[in-house]
Amino acid sequence: MPKKVLIVEDESITALELKRKLMHWGYEISATVDTGKKAVETALELEPDLILMDIVLKGDLDGIKAFKKIKKSLDIPIIYITAHSDENTLNRAQETDPFGYILKPIDDKDLKFTIEMALFKHTTESKLKRLNQSLRVLSDCNQEIIRANDEDKLRKRICEIIATEGNYKLTWINFIDEKDKNKLVTVAKYPNQEFYDESIDLNLSDQLYESYPAVSNIKNREITLCQDITLESPGLEWVSYALEKGYNSLISIPLILEEKIIGSMNIYSSKKNRFDIEEVALLNELANDVVYGINVIRSRLEREKIKKNLKKSEEKYRCIVETANEGIMAMDKNFTTTFVNKKMCELLGYTAEEIINKPVDYFIFEEDLKDHYDRMNMRKNGLSQQYERKFRHKNGKTVWLLISATALTDKEGNFNGSFAMFTDISENKLAFEKLKTSDEKYRSLYSTINEGMAFHQIIYNEEGKAIDYEILDVNPAYEQILNLKKDDVIGKRASEIYSSGKPPYINIYSEVTETGHSKTFETYYAPFNKYFAISVFSPSLNKFVTIFEDITEQKNVEKVLQESERRLNAVLQGSPIPTFVIDQNHKVIYWNKAVEKYTKIKAEDIVGTDNQWTAFYDNKRPVMADLLIDGDIEELSKWYKGKYSRSKFAEDAYNSTDFFPQLDKKGKWLYFTAAPIKDADGIVIGAMETLEDITPRKNAEMALQESEERYRRLLKQSFDAVLIHSDGKIISINDTGARILGTVKEEIIGRPLFNFIHPDYHDLVEDRIKKVSNNQNIVPLVEQKFLKIDGTPIDVEVVGTGFVYNGKNAVQSVFRDISQRKEYESQIINSLKEKDVLLKEVHHRVKNNMQIISSLLNLQGEYCDGPTCEIFNESKNRVKSMAIVHEKLYQSEDFSGINFKEYIQSLTSEILASYLVDTNRIKVIINVENIKLNINTAIPVGLILNEMVTNCIKHAFPNDLRGLIEISLYPVNKEYELTIKDNGVGFPKGFDLKNTKTLGMELIKSLVKQLEGELTIEKEPYTVFRLRFRELKYEQII
């Protein structure tokens, strides 16, 4: 698609020529206008890709002012085309960041090249700007994700950041409804305005909505990108809504959590072709980060839910244990009793206090002690046991108990105690009825516990090897956890039920059955895609019981916690800011590398201790983080009185500055911040403290205070006026300054600075104050007006310096009264300005008129061919040779003459370009000193040079002959000698300069006569034109 160009030119002929050239080069002309006002209106309406703008235009708005208005609303590159090249105009133009500046008369190659480069540069800069914008959006969103605790707030904040910082029209997020999987629900949007029709219910299963981007990207599992909505079918309902709201492009990105699409993120822009490849990639990465953040929040909430359920489960188990029909006893690794339930007390006839802390063998008859010790030794080796034992009742009677004992181990697998359940079998320990009664006691526990429980019987083959097991009974929790019905599993083999083709864990279960030793283990069972914690014991021969619970969620939470812990540790350890963290017990849990380096205390020497104070103090006392954990804010005043303040950036955080003499050899000044760490319920669980070394700044402040007294003495003795102000008030002035302002110091100090500044200079002074206050450096010497105390204006020259005065930022102004000097200068400048303005306007008009002549010749040349076109081209070059003289004068600060070396370089370049000469075929060498010629001399010499160089190019090198043209200009006595030499084919035989009647040679002879010069020609061995002339004196004509 061709690029669209807006032409702004008040010379209609020049505008017509520009329009034809650009159309010939393949550009589309949006419009041609001749005033600044029309330029603004047309640009805002048509939004062209480029503006060619003349600076001097009819009306109140010149080209520069017009473009400033356009630039407020549109990002469009501009190229100025003008006859003005003075420094003031260039400076004004540069303030608008133009992409080019072309002087009249216009060179076609310069114009074409400048347009191409402007479009390329603008495209590249716009792309880079959008990429930086997208990176900022990605960074800010990730900061929100890191800090987020609430999913709904996170979604809304993400939409706000993308829309505002990314400069998009609208951002919204929708999720697939958890109850109705075919329904999309909007969960966040920004800005909070209607989009599409709020009454529309986007349905994934309805073909009517398949074209909606928010639907298609979910169904196709890929990004939907529309760079120009106007090109979509206008009959589509969503297209009508989008265009009505001013949306012109969009991107819709699916949100995928663990391979499952949960919704989409949709971004709309008012600009067409808004999303490039890099931006799409960054937005897709952002969508993945948002999903990650949502997953972290959900995992955290699920983890908290699990914790609450675990607490409930513990309470439930405690209730079961206390009300159990079996005696329960816990022992430490020395088999000393640590816990008994009520039933155990009833079985032995003792109170709990009488049993606890006694060894188990205290209740065993002497004849059974050897067997008891043997079994205890086996249990130390990790063997679980089931056996019968008689115990001594408190009343001396014998009590027979069936014992099911399990060894307990720590994380490393070391034995650290035992747990046993006791069943009373005294009346008839072998009787079936007693066993049945016992079984019924267990059944109550069996039916109500949350853990799955199942009874099994081992099945052996003919060789006596366990090959399977039959399910005899299961409890309700079994059905719920495994989603298997009791009636479907009773009497069935495990290999049939558990979807694996073979009985799970047969080796473990057969071992328990054969040895009587119980086992506990955790496992992942792939067919059910779940983790289980399983305990197994054998109540009788060839039978075993499994008690299991689903720990899948717990395992997933553990993974998330481990990853979160890893990331937090990486952030803290990698931070260049010295940081340490303590827990709610005041123990150090993090001590990063930066604080190690700073305090010379290694993490391994301090983590796990409450010795954080040793890094900063000689005697034990709380650091600021300790005080925040205790919540005792009043203690802050005790330990940091007058040194602390509440943080402006973090809730409940405090800052302080203090000197620590024990740090380093000379001590250090530290700025430190402490903030509490809270859990999801807002309870303080720790605190973090960060440190910053501000010693250099503090030393500088004190050194500055010491120098202020010396400064005051110097101020008093100065011959210049010295004034110091801060926050808009004069805080010091010396006697010289008071005298210039017509009063005494006491009448000035404390008064507003701008009472003594002329109103015309308020903006200048404010700007200089900002510059010097921000950088605390010197602003250069300027001239401005002050007001005496009686309101009389005076001219002064002022230099300002920023510094710290009495602990505050201040500005020192040194000034002198230059009123008398300014009066003399004003008289001289006014006289020169009138002449300068007149000369500039004359040169500008001359150049514009020459551009019109050149444009007319160009336009007329389009309607001729052959020799006639050649005549137009030669005439155009003659006009350019004169225009360049005025251009050089216009650019010069001295109107008395032009630099002729620069002139020759410009003229020869124009001539070579107009004849499309390959500069590798015909080379031009210029040997000219820095000679200045006045305009009366420069124009005829320039015309002669134009004719001679043109003749060389046209006639000296026919048939693509290669050659050299050498141009020299040197002063010779009081004259100048211009030499044009070439090594071409030379003059034809019989050539006589005096008898040549061509227009070019007639012009040369006429111009030589005007210069009162002498022209000679040498034909051998090279063709040489040699012109001797004097600089013509300026003749006053008015």
Lowest model confidence (mean pLDDT) among 129-133, 442-446, 484-488, 632-636: 442-446
**Domain co-membership, 158 together with 275:** yes
The residue among 792, 817, 842 that closes a domain is 817
The confidence score (pLDDT) of residue 468 equals 92
Lowest model confidence (mean pLDDT) among 698-702, 875-879, 932-936: 875-879
**Domain co-membership, 504 together with 464:** yes
What is the residue-averaged pLDDT of the chain? Answer: 83
Taking the C-alpha atoms of residue 404 and residue 535, their distance in angstroms, rounded to an integer, is: 13
**Domain co-membership, 979 together with 871:** yes
**Domain co-membership, 620 together with 681:** yes
Tell me the per-residue pLDDT of 760-819, one tens digit each, with 9 for 90 and over. 999 999 988 888 877 667 888 899 999 999 999 999 999 988 888 777 888 888 998 888
C-alpha closest to that of 479 among 515, 514, 452, 450? 452
The residue among 129, 164, 179 that closes a domain is 129
Tell me the per-residue pLDDT of 937-964, one tens digit each, with 9 for 90 and over. 887 888 888 888 888 888 888 888 899 9
Percentage of residues in the chain having pLDDT higher than 70: 85
The confidence score (pLDDT) of residue 24 equals 87
Query: What does DSSP assign to residue 230?
Result: G
826, part of any domain:
no
The confidence score (pLDDT) of residue 253 equals 93
Give Cα 191 to chain centroid, integer Å: 21
Identity of the amino acid at 922: I
Tell me the per-residue pLDDT of 892-903, one tens digit each, with 9 for 90 and over. 555 567 788 887
Q: What is the CATH number of the domain that holds 804?
A: 3.30.450.20
**Domain co-membership, 689 together with 703:** no
Given the structure tokens 């071409």, which residue do they identify? 984
The confidence score (pLDDT) of residue 504 equals 92
Report whether 179 contacts 207 (CB < 8 A). no
**Domain co-membership, 913 together with 956:** yes
Report whether 218 contacts 204 (CB < 8 A). yes
For residue 50, pLDDT over 90 is answered with yes
The residue among 418, 438, 458 that closes a domain is 438
For residue 358, pLDDT over 90 is answered with yes
For residue 860, pLDDT over 80 is answered with no
Number of domains comprising the chain: 7
Interacting residues of 883 by C-beta distance below 8 A, sequence separation 6+ = 104, 105, 846, 847, 850, 851, 854
979, part of any domain:
yes
Average pLDDT over residues 680-702: 84
Reported confidence tier of residue 680, pLDDT bands at 50, 70, 90: confident
Report whether 886 contacts 843 (CB < 8 A). yes
For residue 336, pLDDT over 90 is answered with yes
381, part of any domain:
yes
Kind and range of the H or E element at 401? strand 398-409
Q: Which residue has the higher pLDDT, 710 or 540?
A: 540
Tell me the per-residue pLDDT of 170-205, one tens digit each, with 9 for 90 and over. 998 989 888 888 888 888 999 876 655 443 455 666
Count of alpha carbons within 13 angstroms of residue 956, beta-carbon side = 25
Reported confidence tier of residue 709, pLDDT bands at 50, 70, 90: low
Report whether 810 contacts 753 (CB < 8 A). no
Tell me the per-residue pLDDT of 611-664, one tens digit each, with 9 for 90 and over. 988 888 888 899 998 988 888 778 888 888 888 888 877 778 899 988 888 777
Average pLDDT over residues 15-26: 86
Q: What is the CATH number of the domain that holds 242?
A: 3.30.450.40
Reported confidence tier of residue 435, pLDDT bands at 50, 70, 90: very low
Q: Which residue has the higher pLDDT, 1020 or 683?
A: 683
551, part of any domain:
yes
**Domain co-membership, 777 together with 887:** no
The confidence score (pLDDT) of residue 241 equals 83
Lowest model confidence (mean pLDDT) among 305-319, 378-392, 465-479: 305-319
Tell me the per-residue pLDDT of 808-820, one tens digit each, with 9 for 90 and over. 888 888 998 888 8
Reported confidence tier of residue 430, pLDDT bands at 50, 70, 90: very low
939, part of any domain:
yes
Strands 1023-1029 and 530-540: unpaired
Q: Which residue has the higher pLDDT, 682 or 503?
A: 503
For residue 36, pLDDT over 60 is answered with yes
**Domain co-membership, 1022 together with 945:** yes
**Domain co-membership, 87 together with 192:** no
Taking the C-alpha atoms of residue 751 and residue 998, their distance in angstroms, rounded to an integer, is: 82
Q: What is the CATH number of the domain that holds 99?
A: 3.40.50.2300
The confidence score (pLDDT) of residue 869 equals 60
Report whether 671 contacts 655 (CB < 8 A). yes
For residue 434, pLDDT over 50 is answered with no
Count of alpha carbons within 13 angstroms of residue 682, beta-carbon side = 2
The confidence score (pLDDT) of residue 458 equals 92
> Rounded to 5 degrees, what are φ and ψ at 298?
-65, -40
Report whether 451 contacts 480 (CB < 8 A). no
CA dihedral 749, 755, 758, 760 (to 10 degrees): 130
Domain that includes residue 542, residue range: 449-559
Query: What does DSSP assign to residue 344?
Result: H
Tell me the per-residue pLDDT of 221-242, one tens digit each, with 9 for 90 and over. 889 999 998 888 777 878 888 8
Collapsing DSSP to helix, strand or coil, 798 comes out as strand
For residue 12, pLDDT over 60 is answered with yes
Average pLDDT over residues 341-356: 91
Taking the C-alpha atoms of residue 907 and residue 886, their distance in angstroms, rounded to an integer, is: 12
pTM: 0.38
1036, part of any domain:
no
Lowest model confidence (mean pLDDT) among 386-395, 402-411, 567-576: 567-576
The confidence score (pLDDT) of residue 502 equals 86
The confidence score (pLDDT) of residue 412 equals 85
The confidence score (pLDDT) of residue 40 equals 93
221, part of any domain:
yes
The confidence score (pLDDT) of residue 432 equals 41
The confidence score (pLDDT) of residue 195 equals 56
Average pLDDT over residues 46-57: 90
Reported confidence tier of residue 70, pLDDT bands at 50, 70, 90: very high
Reported confidence tier of residue 857, pLDDT bands at 50, 70, 90: low
For residue 536, pLDDT over 90 is answered with yes
**Domain co-membership, 350 together with 499:** no
724, part of any domain:
yes
**Domain co-membership, 289 together with 183:** yes
Interacting residues of 574 by C-beta distance below 8 A, sequence separation 6+ = 593
Angle, CA of 848, 103 and 8, to the nearest 5°: 70
Measuring CA to CA, how many Å separate 496 from each of 690, 943, 985? 62, 110, 108
Average pLDDT over residues 443-453: 75
For residue 294, pLDDT over 50 is answered with yes
Q: What is the CATH number of the domain that holds 872?
A: 3.30.565.10
- Burial (Cβ within 10 Å: 0-12, 13-18, ≥19) of residue 783: middle
The confidence score (pLDDT) of residue 1038 equals 38
Taking the C-alpha atoms of residue 400 and residue 350, their distance in angstroms, rounded to an integer, is: 16
**Domain co-membership, 788 together with 722:** yes
Lowest model confidence (mean pLDDT) among 498-502, 685-689, 749-753: 498-502
Reported confidence tier of residue 438, pLDDT bands at 50, 70, 90: very low
